[in-house]
Amino acid sequence: MAEPTSNKAFPVSWDQFHRDARALAWRLADKGPFEAMVCITRGGLVPAAIICRELGLRLIDTVCVASYHDYKNQSELKVLKDVAPNIKAIGDGKGKGVLVVDDLTDTGKTARVVREMLPNAHFATVYAKPAGVPTVDTFVTEVSQDTWIYFPWDMALTYVEPIAKGHKG
């Protein structure tokens, strides 16, 4: 993740992320049945752990994707690891019965690349920006395209300027 230049900040605490990921699990509970989960690394690892616990899923795979991001730019996206053959073979062989999880969809590029691998899978993210909304089936919270979401694993407790002195919070 590159240093963001978005206008607005949406900081998320561990507590809030846990609540939002659990809310996503509630929304997914009647969208299955799911035989397996595929999580898009690395950001998808965190909601995946929470959601597979809530939904009782134990067959978990990863798609490993590397890309460079900032608010306006995303370089080429590299797939470092594809879906395992036994996961691809589930259901209709095109993802039916597979739940794909990521932390967010922004431009939608990551979700589109993974959807090419599993076109009939159910795609779920905790957060979504408008350009990414059409690429996912279920999400919890939408933020505007010019908002940068700060995840708890990318942050540390630190001093912030008062709002009157220009804090964007």
Ligand X SMILES: O=P(O)(O)OC[C@H]1O[C@H](OP(=O)(O)OP(=O)(O)O)[C@H](O)[C@@H]1O
61 is catalytic: no
As measured in angstroms, the least distance from the Cβ of 162 to Mg ion is 33
The closest alpha carbon to 89, from 99, 79, 97, 77, belongs to 97
Q: C-alpha distances in angstroms, 140 versus 23, 26, 59, 72, 102? A: 7, 10, 24, 23, 12
Distance CA 45, CA 52 (A): 10
Cβ closer to ligand X: 26 or 153? 153
Q: Which of 61, 70, 102, 146 is catalytic?
A: 102
The verdict on 114 binding ligand HPA (CB under 6 A) reads: no
Determine whether 154 is an active site residue.
no
Cβ-proximal residue to ligand X, closest one: 43
Catalytic residues: 102-103, 106
- Kindly list the residues in this chain that would bind ligand HPA in the complex (CB under 6 A): 1, 69, 104, 106, 148-149, 151
